[in-house]
Structure 1
Amino acid sequence: MARIKANGIEIEYEATGSPNDPMMLLVSGFSGQLTRWPESLKRGLADAGRHVITFDNRDIGLSTEFAGKVAAAPRDIVKAVAEGKSARDMVPYVLDDMAADAAALVEALGATQADIMGASMGGMIVQLMALNHPAQVRTLIPVMTTSGAPGLPQADPAAQAALTAVPDMRTASAIAELSVKSRHAIGSVPEMRASDDEVRAQSMADFNRSDRPLGVARQYSAILAQPRWHERLAGLTVPTLVLHGAADPLIKPEAGRDIAHRIPGAEIEVIDKWGHDLPEKIVPALLERIVPFLHRNAPEATRANFSR
């Protein structure tokens, strides 16, 4: 892993594959460190001819922490947005700022463009990156995410509760057990998702790497305060592949279909048995869809070498 300055902050990142290949940027979801991307997915994309970059979003992992910055209470942010007011001044940052981080990272690492793929909150960030920084986006892959459009189906109550649950004690073991409960509530069907032991091990490793509960709270506030962008998606011309799980109880597949409907020419794949997680068992299905899409939209100069 390495660190680089971009958009005025320090960003921790990791590279997989050859730096001579076109860049592919993977943007993590809410509270997720770069460690959450499956190794088999990164290696599969690298083997197919992409220089894969994963990174810690601001306030999470080892990237810059916005210590001392306080957001308004979530209920006050929601109230302001419902009343048609701007909530930007109520929070330290919004998703637009996180999209600017991602765009600056691409530039800081020496690329002019990147294929960008984001999961959940990361999928919101990559949509905003395509809207706000189009020159740096070659293709767009929003994964298990939403446009934030009003009227979309709500999360199942158990899934929503899992998103914001906090442990009784802030210890590695307590957080690991909460992660297991969360994965049962939002994850793929039992035969597809990671085992409880695997979830515990990942959670404890992440806790030992970095624990930033206030950063998690600030990221949540950034989602709530972000100005809606769904109506802007009709102006995108970037090749787009939307991926969503048919069994996602947190962000329902209708949200993925909504994104694909709004972006002209967008493709969509809704995958059976997949929930709101990235288990190793789903990786082959993802690569089967992502690699051909990237190949079709690769720069002409690199297309011949894309599948090695």
Structure 2
Amino acid sequence: MGTVTVGEVEIAYEVDGPEDGEPMLLLMGLGTQLVAWPAEVVDGLASRGFRVVRVDNRDIGLSSRTSTPAPTRAAVVRALVHRGAARSDYLLADLAADAVAVLDHLGIDRAHVVGVSMGGMIAQQLTIDHPGRVRSLASVMSTTGSRRRGNVSARLLPRMARSLTAPRPTDEEEAVRLGVEGWRVIAGPHFDEDEIEAQVRAAVARSTSPLGAVRQLLAILASPDRTPGLRQVRVPTLVVHGLADPLVAWSGGVATARAVPGSRLLLFPDMGHDLPRPRRGEIVEAIARNAARAAAPTADDDRPRS
């Protein structure tokens, strides 16, 4: 566990697995701390010999907060309705650069990069902007940034807008309750309330950042479409998505797989915007197999898949 300074920003990270293992960088999603990675995923990758590096994206967890004035409610709603109106203090490219700084700090030249949701967007951007630092890419329940793909469900959008602009809870129990309810709305049929409550409690006890999710959302909305850049990606790429995802429609996963040459697409009918326990073993195995493609490429890897 440690921190690295990037300009005026401090990024917190944790490392698991063997010191001499192949590095694997895990990037979490919107408003979510590194403790949200399920133990089965972290331990599963570490047991396969990977040196697993998890980070808190800026404005979340133990990483530093943006000091500029908070976005207004009107600005957030306007950005959700008209993406072109989004204004942010930083972009996904900056979050990708933060992650690269962690690799630099740890003396890691190249890493396998795995991201979920917003973390998948950061992982994509990192691969585009810093191709020499990436051995393989796994983009999970994420999208390309195209306004036509991977959009929030129409039924979920009003609730999302209310949640992001509502007064922040001051009571710890209320914060936990709201956190659990937030996960319940976007999860698939395997939602485990006890597990999620324990995860949310751990996050609340570790750190709270009321504006973190808002600032990160604006960074997503203000960032450009990554599709042209993804077409230039040449590392082994795995795309994982759930067909029951209401937050990032599975069309976003399909668009990602179609954009990256030679990518492999894994869809689960019983997965929402979560990492469901019954599927974690399969997801870990798929990530490990994709990483192995970096060590042993074949002619088959050059054929686009969707």
- Length-normalised TM-score, structure 1: 0.87
Q: Percent identity?
A: 35
Correspondent of 2:195 among 177, 193, 198: 198
After TM superposition, the structure 1 stretch with the greater mean CA deviation from structure 2, 56-65 or 211-220, is 211-220
- Length-normalised TM-score, structure 2: 0.88
Correspondent of 1:148 among 119, 123, 145: 145
How far apart are 1:170 and its partner, in Å?
2.9
Change (3 A) 1:103 1:163: farther
* Matched residue SS, 1:157: coil
Q: How many residues get paired?
A: 292
- Aligned position for 2:174: 174
* Matched residue SS, 2:295: coil
Equivalent-residue separation in structure 2 for 1:271 and 1:7 (angstroms) = 40
CA displacement 1:169-211 (0-9 Å, x = unmatched): 332211222223222221021xx222x2322222122112111
- Aligned position for 2:221: 224
Given that 1:162 and 1:181 are in contact with CA atoms closer than 8 Å, whether structure 2 keeps it comes out as no
How far apart are 1:167 and its partner, in Å?
6.4
Please tell me whether residue 298 in structure 1 is matched to residue 295 in structure 2.
yes
Please tell me whether residue 91 in structure 1 is matched to residue 93 in structure 2.
no
- Aligned position for 2:84: 82
Given that 2:35 and 2:202 are in contact with CA atoms closer than 8 Å, whether structure 1 keeps it comes out as no
CA displacement 1:136-164 (0-9 Å, x = unmatched): 01101010001021322532234334545
CA displacement 1:16-65 (0-9 Å, x = unmatched): 10121110000010000000001111111111111000011111100111
What amino acid sits opposite 1:193 in the alignment? F
- Where in structure 2 are the equivalents of 1:91-110 lying within 5 Å? 91-110=88-107
- Aligned position for 1:13: 13
* Matched residue SS, 2:136: strand
Given that 2:142 and 2:150 are in contact with CA atoms closer than 8 Å, whether structure 1 keeps it comes out as no
- Aligned position for 1:304: none
Equivalent-residue separation in structure 1 for 2:18 and 2:184 (angstroms) = 37
- Aligned position for 2:22: 22
How far apart are 1:236 and its partner, in Å?
1.3
Given that 2:168 and 2:210 are in contact with CA atoms closer than 8 Å, whether structure 1 keeps it comes out as no
* Matched residue SS, 1:235: coil
Equivalent-residue separation in structure 2 for 1:173 and 1:70 (angstroms) = 25
Given that 2:96 and 2:125 are in contact with CA atoms closer than 8 Å, whether structure 1 keeps it comes out as yes
Where does the alignment leave 5 or more consecutive residues of structure 1 unmatched?
301-308
- Where in structure 2 are the equivalents of 1:109-188 lying within 5 Å? 109-152=106-149, 154-161=151-158, 163-164=160-161, 165=163, 166=166, 169-188=169-188
What amino acid sits opposite 2:176 in the alignment? A
What amino acid sits opposite 2:173 in the alignment? S
Equivalent-residue separation in structure 2 for 1:125 and 1:145 (angstroms) = 10
Where does the alignment leave 5 or more consecutive residues of structure 2 unmatched?
298-306
* CA-based RMSD: 2.2
* Matched residue SS, 2:63: coil
Change (3 A) 1:159 1:80: closer
* Matched residue SS, 1:115: strand
Please tell me whether residue 233 in structure 1 is matched to residue 264 in structure 2.
no
Please tell me whether residue 248 in structure 1 is matched to residue 245 in structure 2.
yes
Given that 2:150 and 2:250 are in contact with CA atoms closer than 8 Å, whether structure 1 keeps it comes out as no
- Aligned position for 2:301: none
